[in-house]
Structure 1
Amino acid sequence: MRAPLSIIIPTLNADAGLAQTLEALMEGLSAGLIREVIISDGGSQDRTCDIAEEAGCEIVQGPASRGGQLARGASEARGEWFLFLHADTMLEPGWSTDVVAQMKTGASGYFKLRFDDPSFGAGWVAGWANLRARVFRLPYGDQGLLVSREVYEASGGYPDIPLMEDVALVRCLSGRLTPLAPTATTSWARYERAGWLRRGAKNIMILLRYLLGASPERLAASYRK
């Protein structure tokens, strides 16, 4: 039987964390779980593609747009299950056992978020994200998304939009998501640069505006300011 899982990672100048992310996936290869790791690159100018090639990943290239990159990666995937993962997110040891168990249930899933920083701000933002995912069934992409090919295609897949692509897909899954026990540790750097309180508040406002009908294009312009 062929390995069932395709891992899809969107990248854009992601060489700072990609090697660690890929290293954390090695247990899935040893367990015969991973069929392929697809790097969907949006035009990186650093060593991202070199790192991916050295690790034996498949590389798909196209315009920079996370939704479009995720969709392109999925279109090339051959597994019966997809795991979408950010390039700066490392899965906790033992993740593959939980993924196998989740796949047997047929349900989609996501990981518990934590940041690679011990500060109060990092803990607060991660706590809110985990609460949002559990109560409102709205995990973001930095928590990973495990979904079967059948469910992914039936939902319409990732839309090629500049922002909120993860929320758009998750809402189409109609709450058919369950949390996985392992943590997904992601980089705190972007919050540290922008100021965690300011960025956290901005993210909440953008989510609310999206849920109220604002276009992803307009939200992306606001997000970049």
Structure 2
Amino acid sequence: MKISIIIPTCNEEGFIQSLLRYLNGLDAHGLLREIIVVDGSSTDRTVAHAKLAGAIVLSSDIRSRAVQLNLGAEMATGDVYYFLHADSLPPESLFEDLYNTIDAGFEAGCYQLSFDKSHWFLRLNAWFTRFDCEAFRFGDQSLFVTQNAYHKIGGYDQKLTILEDNEIITRLKKKVKFRLLNKKVVTSARKYIACGVFRLQFSYYLLYLFYKLGGTQQFLLKTYRVLLGKSWSSSG
């Protein structure tokens, strides 16, 4: 079994090189096929750093995680795709976890969540990710899926610019065996620091509620920008 890691980026020079070195250092058993970075028109040194660290770098004219991740999957040659944010670190047992989970008959899954900042409200939010409920499944937890399962469901829905990660997991769980692993991805709390912990999380709760009530992507994106401004891209 070979694993392709796919990372969407946009202006991630502060994270990408150290992440790629970390990932390459975990592959003790030769399970890693390739790391594909799909860049959404970065204006910093993300692309240069990714190439220097040995990643395959693709360019996307559209800055959208769904589009970028699908583009990466189209080029991937591994048996398993592992979708990861540039500011998130999976456990050191990543490759063994994926191998053992797939070998046990599961076709997709994700980790639980933790943050790199100690704050009681962030710890509380992360605590809820231990429950196997779609309301607590988002892209920061990363996602692995076999090539066959990915193509069975048609990949990410490129019509979505918000909550594309939650939507694909919901579809996967209806079609294949999905496992929530009892380990954690450590993700950056930078957005919480910049926007305010309570403001950002309230915004996420509100957006998810509107999404479940049938809000259009246009409405969700407009709400997102009203609540948080235009500075946070939907990629990376």
Query: How many residue pairs are counted as aligned between the two chains?
Result: 221
What is the CA-CA distance between 1:137 and the residue it aligns to?
6.6
Segments of structure 2 that go 5 or more residues without pairing to the other structure are: 227-236
TM-score, normalised to structure 2, is: 0.88
Q: 1:137 to 1:209 in 2, by over 3 A?
A: closer
Residues 4-153 of structure 1: pairs in structure 2 closer than 5 A: 4-62=2-60, 63-107=62-106, 108-128=108-128, 130-131=129-130, 134-136=132-134, 138-153=136-151
Residues 114-193 of structure 1: pairs in structure 2 closer than 5 A: 114-128=114-128, 130-131=129-130, 134-136=132-134, 138-160=136-158, 161-174=160-173, 176-193=177-194
Separation of aligned partners in 2, 1:164 and 1:87: 17
Q: 1:168 to 1:72 in 2, by over 3 A?
A: same
Residues 23-56 of structure 1: per-residue CA shift (max 9 Å, x gap):
3312443321110100010001111111110111
Separation of aligned partners in 2, 1:217 and 1:167: 17
Opposite residue 125 of structure 1, the aligned amino acid is: N
What is the CA-CA distance between 1:181 and the residue it aligns to?
2.9
Q: Check whether the contact 1:21–1:90 (CA below 8 A) recurs between aligned residues.
A: yes
What is the CA-CA distance between 1:121 and the residue it aligns to?
2.6
Separation of aligned partners in 2, 1:9 and 1:106: 25
Q: Check whether the contact 1:98–1:181 (CA below 8 A) recurs between aligned residues.
A: no
Separation of aligned partners in 1, 2:109 and 2:22: 18
Q: Check whether the contact 1:164–1:216 (CA below 8 A) recurs between aligned residues.
A: no
Separation of aligned partners in 1, 2:72 and 2:109: 19
Q: Check whether the contact 1:8–1:73 (CA below 8 A) recurs between aligned residues.
A: yes
Opposite residue 13 of structure 1, the aligned amino acid is: N
Residues 55-77 of structure 1: per-residue CA shift (max 9 Å, x gap):
11111111211111111111111
Q: 1:123 to 1:165 in 2, by over 3 A?
A: same
Residues 178-199 of structure 1: per-residue CA shift (max 9 Å, x gap):
1123321110010111111111
Separation of aligned partners in 1, 2:132 and 2:19: 24
Q: Check whether the contact 2:26–2:93 (CA below 8 A) recurs between aligned residues.
A: no
Residue 203 of structure 2 corresponds to residue 202 of structure 1:
yes
Opposite residue 115 of structure 1, the aligned amino acid is: F
Q: Check whether the contact 1:114–1:184 (CA below 8 A) recurs between aligned residues.
A: yes
Opposite residue 202 of structure 1, the aligned amino acid is: S
RMSD of aligned residue pairs (Cα, Å): 1.6
TM-score, normalised to structure 1, is: 0.92
Separation of aligned partners in 2, 1:137 and 1:201: 14
Q: Check whether the contact 2:26–2:92 (CA below 8 A) recurs between aligned residues.
A: no
Opposite residue 174 of structure 1, the aligned amino acid is: K
Residues 68-94 of structure 1: per-residue CA shift (max 9 Å, x gap):
111111111111110000000011222
